[in-house]
């Protein structure tokens, strides 16, 4: 099974969307193997968005993601990265399909409610940034036999 990283961003937390977002991933069949609310430090934000350093939107991005608490999630399932990305919708909520998380709740590209890893490589990197060794759990979920062949 594949793992991915998903974050409910500060706007999603402030808008009371945490439960709705978790609900959607769980109902799809993805298994939560790590979950925590946290305040991202500037140092962690700069590491997380490191590939954008030097771009004009880097500083506003760091300021935004550190402006309030977030919910960090580690999700597991078959094709978890692509499944979560599809459920979130396009980065720009105005271009996201209706019914996706961003298409349903987002109005502005800078306040698009969620972040999700875009590849298995970035998932591994981001999970390592937001979860310490031992924080992700392994468990058998009886329901899996009703989700996967």
Give the annotated binding-site residues for ATP.
9, 57, 85, 91, 102, 112
Q: Which residues are catalytically annotated?
A: 115
Main-chain dihedrals φ then ψ at residue 144, nearest 5 degrees: -55, -30
What's the rounded Cα separation, in Å, for the pair 62 and 15? 20
Place of tokens 């468990």: 139
C-beta atoms surrounding 87 within 10 Å: 19
Main-chain dihedrals φ then ψ at residue 105, nearest 5 degrees: -110, -15
Nearest-CA neighbor of 38 among 81, 82, 79, 74?
A: 74
Nearest-CA neighbor of 61 among 52, 69, 70?
A: 52
């Amino acid at each position: 099974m594949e793992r991915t990283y998903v974050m409910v961003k500060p706007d999603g937390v402030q808008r009371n969307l945490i439960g709705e977002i978790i609900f959607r991933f769980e109902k799809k069949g993805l298994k939560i193997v790590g979950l925590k609310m946290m305040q991202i430090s500037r140092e962690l934000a700069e590491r997380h968005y490191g590939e954008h350093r030097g771009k004009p939107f880097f500083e506003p991005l760091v300021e935004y993601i550190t402006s309030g608490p977030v919910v960090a999630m580690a999700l597991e399932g078959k094709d978890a990265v692509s499944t979560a990305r599809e459920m979130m919708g396009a980065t720009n909520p105005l271009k996201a399909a209706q019914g996706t998380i961003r298409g349903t709740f987002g109005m502005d590209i800078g306040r698009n409610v969620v972040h999700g890893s875009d590849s298995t490589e970035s998932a591994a990197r981001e999970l390592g940034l937001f979860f310490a060794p031992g924080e992700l759990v392994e468990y058998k979920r009886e329901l899996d036999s009703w989700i996967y062949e």
